[in-house]
């Protein structure tokens, strides 16, 4: 089963794909989608949708895991993040309705490092321990990989809680 992990953002977003076979988790690909070259925020939303749709077409993941909204100091920043995340989820739900899952940042960190308030370096270190030495372009990329791994580790419980069959 292929899982796509997404660390959403309105200027850039991290993505990562893993393959889960039983208890074995293998790295497929990861990267950063950049949108900050488009000046007007409203114009970025279509690009965000399109790039996420292209990820779905290219990799054909079975399930998608997305980081839930986080607390930000600015209402404007939260609004933009929510809209960008909405464009992403809309793209994913075209073909994966019922196969999109969200995880709070503390759940992701706790799942991969054992500590819900771990910093970015601890997440990077955990991903390097799991998959071997990796160089991430940004923390968005390593966070996306952690989000995918979090879903792989928690999907059975999440599915049961949602009343879905495995």
**Domain tally for the chain?**
1
Q: Is 140 a catalytic residue?
A: yes
160 pLDDT higher than 60 = no
Confidence of residue 165 (pLDDT cuts 50, 70, 90): low
Residue in 52, 135, 35, 36 with CA at minimum distance from that of residue 93: 52
How much is the average pLDDT of 58-87?
Answer: 91
Q: Is 102 a catalytic residue?
A: no
3-class secondary-structure state, position 72? coil
Confidence of residue 140 (pLDDT cuts 50, 70, 90): very high
The answer to whether residue 137 sits within a structural domain is yes
92 pLDDT higher than 70 = yes
CATH number at residue 116: 3.30.420.10
Catalytic residue among 63, 102, 140, 141: 140
Catalytic residue among 63, 67, 102, 124: 67
């Amino acid at each position: 089963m292929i899982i796509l992990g997404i660390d959403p953002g309105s200027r850039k977003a991290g993505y990562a794909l893993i393959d889960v076979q039983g208890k074995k988790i293998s790295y497929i690909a990861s990267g950063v989608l950049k949108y900050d070259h488009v000046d007007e925020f409203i114009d970025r939303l279509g690009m965000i949708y399109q790039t996420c749709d292209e990820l779905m077409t290219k990799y054909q993941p079975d399930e998608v895991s997305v980081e839930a909204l986080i607390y930000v100091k600015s209402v404007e920043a939260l609004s933009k993040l929510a809209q960008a995340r909405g464009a992403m989820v809309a793209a994913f739900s075209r073909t994966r309705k019922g196969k999109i899952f969200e995880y709070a940042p503390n759940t992701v960190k706790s799942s991969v490092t054992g500590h819900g308030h771990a910093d970015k370096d601890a997440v990077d270190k955990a991903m390097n321990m799991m998959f071997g030495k990796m160089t991430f372009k940004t923390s968005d990329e390593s966070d996306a990989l952690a989000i995918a791994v979090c879903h792989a580790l928690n999907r059975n419980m999440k599915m049961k809680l949602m009343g879905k069959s495995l």
